[in-house]
Structure 1
C-alpha cells in the first residue's frame, strides 16, 4: 500500500512539473523578443470605409516599396475631337498610275508620229502646187495619213485625260500629282510600304480648316502622326462628315478602322490632367490610386478620359491637388486583390529555407 502511494505521489509531482513547464513556455514563448520587429503592425491591410476599398500601407513600407505620389495640377492643353479613320487600299492607285504612264507613253509616240505625217503632207502639198511635182494621189495619201495620226493622237489624249480624271476622282489632287511626279518621295514610300494613306472623316460640325497634322491610333495603341494631303473626293457611306486624306509614316493594315485625334482649335485651354504613369488598366478600365491619408490609398475610376500629349484629361472625379500614385500602383492593386485573412508568415524557420 505504501509503495503504491509513493508511486502515485511521484507521478503527480512529475505531471505538475510538466504542466508548469508547458504554461511557462506558452506564456513566455508567445511574448515578442526584445528588439524583434512587429511584423503584423507593418503589413499592408485592406479596409472598407464608406463603401470604398482602402489599402492601408505604413509610411516605412511605402518608402521600402518605392511608392511615390504627385499632386494633380491644371495644365494647358489643346482640345481634341475624335474622328473616324480607315487605311485606304492603294492598289487601285498603283494600277491607275501604271495605266496612265503607258497612256502618256503612247501619247508621246503618236504625237511624234502625227508631227511627221503632218510634215510629210506639207511637203507633198508644196510639191503638188509647184507644177504638180507629185501626183494628186500622193497628196491625198499624205493627207489621209496625217488625219489618221491626228485622230489617234486625240484618242490617246482622251484616254490619258480620262485616266488622270479617274485617279483624281478617287484619290484627290495630292495623291494623283505624287503618283505621276518623276521623283516623288511620298509615292516611293507608299510603294515601298513605309507609309500609308488614311481617309479621315472629320465630324460634320467641325469648324475651321482641317488641321495639317493629326494623330491616329495604331493596333498596338501607340499614336502615329499623320500629315494632311488633300480632301477626299469619296467618303465613307457609313460615316457622315467631311473626308480628308492623310499620310502616316508607318505601315498599317489595309482596311483597318481606327480613331483619329483631331485638334479642335488652335488655342489652348486649362484642364486637369492625370499623368500617364499614374494610370493602370484593370477590368478593361482606367484606374488611379489616390492617397487620401498618409497611410491610406483608394482606387478611383478615370471616367471618359481623353488622351493628350501630357496624359489623360478628366473633368470629374478628381480635383487639383489630389495625390495620385506615380510609382507602385500595381503593388497596391495586387495588395487590394490579395485574399485577406490568409497567414503567410513562416512559422518553422527550417522550412523558410526551402
Structure 2
C-alpha cells in the first residue's frame, strides 16, 4: 500500500513540473526579448518616396556602420572634346631621311664637279680665243663636259627637292626639319623609340586652334600627355576632321587607335566633382548615394562620361551642397537590394550562436 502511494506521489510531482515548464514556454519564453526588439527596430528600412527608393538609416546605425558624407562644391573645370588618335608608323620618315641625306650628299659632290668643269671650259675658251692656243675640239669637249655636269647637278637638285617635298607632304614641316637637322633631340628620341608621333583628328566643329598639349589614353587606360608638333598634311580616311601631329614620350605600339582628350574651345565652366570613393557601380553604370535627410539616403545616377583627375565631373542631376556618401555606399546598396519583409532579429539564443 505504501509503495503505491509513493509511486502516485512521484507521478504527481512529474506532472506538475511538466505543466509548469509548458506554462513558462507559452507565456514567458515565447515573448520577444527587449534586446531583440531594439535590434529589430535599429535595422534600416527601404521606402519609396515620390518615385525614388529611399534607404532609412538611424543616426546611431550610421555611426556604428561608419557612414560618412561630404558636401559637393562647384568648381571651374575645362571641358574636353573627344578626338581620335593613331600612332603613326615612322619607318617611312626614317627611309626618306636616309634617301634625302644621300641625295643632298650627291648634290654637293655634283655641284663641286660642275664647278670644276665650268672653270675648265672657261680656261679652254680663253686659250682658244687667244690665238687658238688649243684646238677647237678641246674647247668643244670642255663644253660638253660642263653641260653634262650641269645636267647631272640639275637632276640631283630635282631629286633632292622631290624627296624634301615628299617628306613634308607626309610628315609636315616640324618633323621634316627635325629629321634633317644635324643634332635634333626630337628626331634622336624618335629614332631610339623613346617617343612616338600620333595623328590626332580634332572634330570639324572645333573652332579654336589646336591646343599645345592634350592627353591620350594608353592601352592600360592611363592618360599620357602629348605635345603638338604641327598640322598633319594627311588625314585619317576613316575619320573626318582636322588632323594634327602630336608627340608623346611614352612608347606606344604603331597603329594603335586610341582616344584623345582635347580642351574645349569655349573656356572653363562651373561643374560639380563627385569623388571616386562616393561612386559605386551597379548594372554597369555609376551611382552615388545622397543624404536627403538626417536618416534618409537616395541613390542617384552619375551622368559623367568618364572619371577625371579629381573624380566624376557632372553638370546635371546634382546641386552644390548635396551630401554624397563617401564611406559606406556599398552597405546602403546592399540594404536597398536586400529582400524586404524578412525578420533579422534573433528569436532563439541557440540559433544566434550559429
Same fold per superposition (TM over 0.5): yes
Would the aligned equivalents of 1:275 and 1:312 in 2 still touch at CA under 8 Å? yes
Cα distance, 1:309–1:41 mapped onto 2, change above 3 Å:
same
Distance (Å, rounded) in 2 between the aligned partners of 1:166 and 1:146: 30
Q: What RMSD over aligned residues (CA atoms) do the two structures have, in Å? A: 3.6
Cα distance, 1:227–1:6 mapped onto 2, change above 3 Å:
same
Cα distance, 1:156–1:351 mapped onto 2, change above 3 Å:
farther
Would the aligned equivalents of 1:291 and 1:323 in 2 still touch at CA under 8 Å? yes
Partner of 1:123: 123
- TM-superposed deviation, 1:263: 2.0
Residues 195-214 of structure 1: matches in 2 within 5 Å? 195-214=195-214
Q: For 1:86-131, what per-residue CA distance to the aligned partner results, in whole angstroms no more than 9, with x for missing partners?
A: 2222222222222222222222222222223223333333333344
Q: Which moved more, 1:197-206 or 1:58-67?
A: 58-67
Distance (Å, rounded) in 2 between the aligned partners of 1:235 and 1:40: 67
Distance (Å, rounded) in 1 between the aligned partners of 2:174 and 2:110: 29
Q: Which moved more, 1:255-264 or 1:47-56?
A: 47-56
Partner of 1:206: helix, strand, or coil?
Answer: coil
Partner of 2:232: 232
Cα distance, 1:201–1:13 mapped onto 2, change above 3 Å:
same
Partner of 2:206: helix, strand, or coil?
Answer: coil
Would the aligned equivalents of 2:83 and 2:201 in 1 still touch at CA under 8 Å? yes
Partner of 1:298: 298
Residues 278-317 of structure 1: matches in 2 within 5 Å? 278-305=278-305, 308-317=308-317
Q: For 1:11-55, what per-residue CA distance to the aligned partner results, in whole angstroms no more than 9, with x for missing partners?
A: 342254256457658946987699x99655556x46242354444
Residues 172-251 of structure 1: matches in 2 within 5 Å? 172-251=172-251
Partner of 2:210: helix, strand, or coil?
Answer: coil
Would the aligned equivalents of 1:306 and 1:314 in 2 still touch at CA under 8 Å? no
Would the aligned equivalents of 2:40 and 2:344 in 1 still touch at CA under 8 Å? no
Partner of 1:140: 140
Q: Which moved more, 1:198-207 or 1:16-25?
A: 16-25
Would the aligned equivalents of 1:46 and 1:53 in 2 still touch at CA under 8 Å? no
**1:255 equivalent in alignment to 2:283:** no
Distance (Å, rounded) in 2 between the aligned partners of 1:298 and 1:149: 87
Partner of 2:250: helix, strand, or coil?
Answer: coil
Distance (Å, rounded) in 1 between the aligned partners of 2:103 and 2:306: 50
Would the aligned equivalents of 2:231 and 2:245 in 1 still touch at CA under 8 Å? yes
Q: Which runs of 5+ in 1 are unaligned?
A: none
Q: For 1:127-171, what per-residue CA distance to the aligned partner results, in whole angstroms no more than 9, with x for missing partners?
A: 333444443333333322222222222111111111111111111
Q: Which moved more, 1:221-230 or 1:259-268?
A: 259-268
Cα distance, 1:99–1:19 mapped onto 2, change above 3 Å:
farther
Q: Which moved more, 1:267-276 or 1:340-349?
A: 340-349
Q: Which moved more, 1:202-211 or 1:291-300?
A: 291-300
The TM-score with structure 2 as length reference comes to: 0.82
> Between Structure 1 and Structure 2, how many residues are aligned?
350
- TM-superposed deviation, 1:276: 3.7
- TM-superposed deviation, 1:71: 0.9
Partner of 1:208: helix, strand, or coil?
Answer: coil
Partner of 1:161: 161
Distance (Å, rounded) in 1 between the aligned partners of 2:22 and 2:135: 143
- TM-superposed deviation, 1:206: 1.9
**1:103 equivalent in alignment to 2:100:** no
The TM-score with structure 1 as length reference comes to: 0.82
Distance (Å, rounded) in 1 between the aligned partners of 2:271 and 2:226: 25
Partner of 2:114: 114
Partner of 1:322: 322
Distance (Å, rounded) in 2 between the aligned partners of 1:318 and 1:62: 23
Distance (Å, rounded) in 2 between the aligned partners of 1:342 and 1:143: 113
